[in-house]
Chains A and B, each alone.
Chain A
Amino acid sequence: MKKVLSIVLLCVLIVLPLLVSCAPQKPIVGFFVYDENDTYMGELTAKVKAEVDSKVNLDIKYASRSQSVQNRQILDNLKQNTALIAVNLVDRLSASSIVEKCEQQKLPLVFFNREPLDGDMSSSRVYYVGANADNQGILQAEMLNNLFGEFVNTAYDKNGDGKIQTIIFKGEQGHQDAEKRTKSCLNELKNYGYSIDILGVTVADWSRNKAESAMQDYDKLFGESIELILCNNDDMALGAVDFLKGAGKLKEESASDFHQDYVIVGVDATEAGLKAVKDGYMYGTVLNDSLTQSKAIALLMQYLLQNKDLQNFPYTITNRNYIYIDGKIILKYDIK
């Protein structure tokens, strides 16, 4: 009898710590980012992590711009009893596979920053959180309108032809945000009544270095005639700044007014971008509100993990499962 009792006791002693260790653990959330070297995504990721760190176990993976790598990272993550998947896609066309896989595993799925095709968002537990790219383009146009005013016969119309000689740095060909930002901005500028002469469009992959070298080519081709450098993000704007600064064509400007030869605008309001605006290299940027986006992502994760009704979700949900965060114009005097 004693023997039996001691064996039972022993078993309990062995099993108990195991039970305790498995007891209330933070749910694992797979968080997949398309590239580690993207400044904006780095900031967004850090903010999301800060928001949810106490509640979930955020497993962050960077895909080095390969959808194939990201697919494998997601598959590996699915093997670990993940509770939710959050994906910043490399290729927006690949969303359907991931949606299907998560549906098969009955996992909620949150896309962020790169919007999948509308047709792929069919599943009920799939959401998208991202910037309102159209809005960002409109805001870019708005701030340019504030600067240019009539444009014709102003200092900004350097060749006096009444047209805005523009070069465009596009983030990526096929990137929803890149296309939308460019298109809505140009459309809005047209709506304001400007006529635009596009000197060139460069797909610089959101990259500062690529933009810098492309700027060099444009400088050779068009030189002083470039009046507006329209960039889909701050990094590329900074690339253009880097070249022009290096070539001595852009100088720091401490005055509160903007008087540069080149009007450079970006989107995102990264730290480096804000500094460039403050120093007068860039005219302005649009806040791609990473803080609000991260808060929305974090909150959405918790709602989905707890199976809460999204009726009372504080951010506007459009089209059943899209959450767009509007931007904000940031000019020199907005920065303290």
Chain B
Amino acid sequence: MNRCIVAESSMTYAMKVKQLLEGHSIASSVVRLDPSQTKKGCGYGVEFDCAEYENAITILERARIPYTVVSGAAR
């Protein structure tokens, strides 16, 4: 299973995204990101199965939650 990651601005937003995705039956987990991945210093991301990438991105955009793709899949 390939894992996709979206970076969030904070742990709080990462938790919000995790709850949101799980509410849509997309299993996810919060992961710590390296400063080089965020370009902003310490950060958090949400990891999920790349098979759900399309769905997950659509859900985030509908909820107007900002994100940055760290590790994605082709749309």
Q: Does B bind A?
A: no
